[in-house]
Amino acid sequence: MKAIVYYNCGSPDVLKCEEIEKPVPNDNEVLIKVCAASANPLDWRLMRGGPYIVRKLFGIGKPKIKRPGVDVAGEVETVGSNVTQFKPGDSVFGLCKGAFAEYVCAPESALVLKPDNVTFEQAASVPVAAFTALQGLRDKGHIQPRQKVLINGAAGGVGTFAVQIAKSFSADVTGVCSTKNLNMVRSIGADRAIDYTHEDFTRGTQRYDLILDCVGNHSFSAYRRVLNPSGICVIIGGKELWSVLIRVLTAPVLSRLVSQKFIFFIAKLSKEDLTTMSELMARGKVTPVIDRRYTLSEVPKAIRYLEEGHARGKVVINLESAN
């Protein structure tokens, strides 16, 4: 089968589409014929490897994961002997290793059935980005109806899910994005959209109960100005690894000193949350926003585009035409 592999960290040029052996599921796994996969910043971060000191700190030498891609949707081809929830022919989506391939194996615990009203591309857009948005808003941000919630980076993979998920909790949602994405961010439910090229929301008069920061481009003191006294700022990322590391270290310290909370977190695989997302999509509360579609051999192009940092929703790899 064809799969994207890489042997050394570097630019998207290290990604090669090669012929490798079709995987065989173990007892707890399902073999999936991949219909679609989606790309996440995680894919380019692992591919790049990061600065030398960060590679050392996190034990990243030669890439351990040589098969990028974790978000997958497809059809079950065979199941392991202990698998009880799926059978050949089922349409599923979830998390796996090496999703940019014609076939993958994934544990039963990392998959759910795809709702009929959702395409494979939409389903493949969900796992990492939606987990992050859902767990960030609900578990870390304790989102409540009518709260004022701001999503910084509302037009991206995580942000487009966060806007819709926050609306499903009946929050009052403000999305921050560039001029070209204002209408899209409003169209997915944001009550207002702020154009960061014209307005710095941290200098405005509006106060927020919850900020989900997908960009990491403002200081904690700037966020404090626009957070209510008991407000929560959930930080999920930032472009530069150094600035992310500094935030990881300073957030808990600051949270002890001031009334507002600053929380950095990493999303976790949760079958329950996959089910929640499946239900939200089946009920039409969340519709994944897909920006661009690429074929398997175009994965280097897809990753290069995502790495530019201006994707409009999710970047999807479509294998349906190849199957």
Ligand X SMILES: NC(=O)c1ccc[n+]([C@@H]2O[C@H](COP(=O)([O-])OP(=O)(O)OC[C@H]3O[C@@H](n4cnc5c(N)ncnc54)[C@H](OP(=O)(O)O)[C@@H]3O)[C@@H](O)[C@H]2O)c1
Q: Does 311 contact ligand X by CB under 6 A?
A: yes
Helix (H) or strand (E) holding 69: none
| Inter-CA distances, 294 with 43, 99, 121, 233, Å | 15, 14, 11, 34
Instruction: Give the pairing type, strands 29-39 and 208-213.
Output: unpaired
Residue span binding ligand X (CB under 6 A) among the ranges 30-38, 105-113, 170-178, 276-284: 170-178
- What is the size of the binding site for ligand X (CB under 6 A)? 30
Q: Does 127 contact ligand X by CB under 6 A?
A: no
Q: Does 317 contact ligand X by CB under 6 A?
A: no
Between 164 and 181, CB nearer to ligand X = 181
Instruction: At 301, list the tokens.
Output: 């192009």
Distance between CA atoms of residues 46 and 39, nearest Å: 12
Distance between CA atoms of residues 65 and 305, nearest Å: 21
- On whether the CB atoms of residues 190 and 173 are closer than 8 A, the answer is yes
Exactly one of 132, 147, 276, 318 binds ligand X (CB under 6 A); that residue is: 132
Q: Does 236 contact ligand X by CB under 6 A?
A: yes
20-39 footprint of ligand X as x/- string (CB under 6 A): --------------------
How many residues does this entry show for the chain? 323
Distance between CA atoms of residues 81 and 75, nearest Å: 18
Between 40 and 91, CB nearer to ligand X = 40
Residue span binding ligand X (CB under 6 A) among the ranges 74-82, 105-113, 278-286, 305-313: 305-313
265-294 footprint of ligand X as x/- string (CB under 6 A): -xx---------------------------
Exactly one of 91, 122, 181, 278 binds ligand X (CB under 6 A); that residue is: 181
142: helix, strand or coil: coil
Q: How many CB atoms lie within 10 A of CB 217?
A: 15
The binding site for ligand X (CB under 6 A) comprises 40-41, 128-129, 132, 152-153, 155-159, 176-178, 181, 196, 214-215, 217, 236-238, 266-267, 306, 309-312
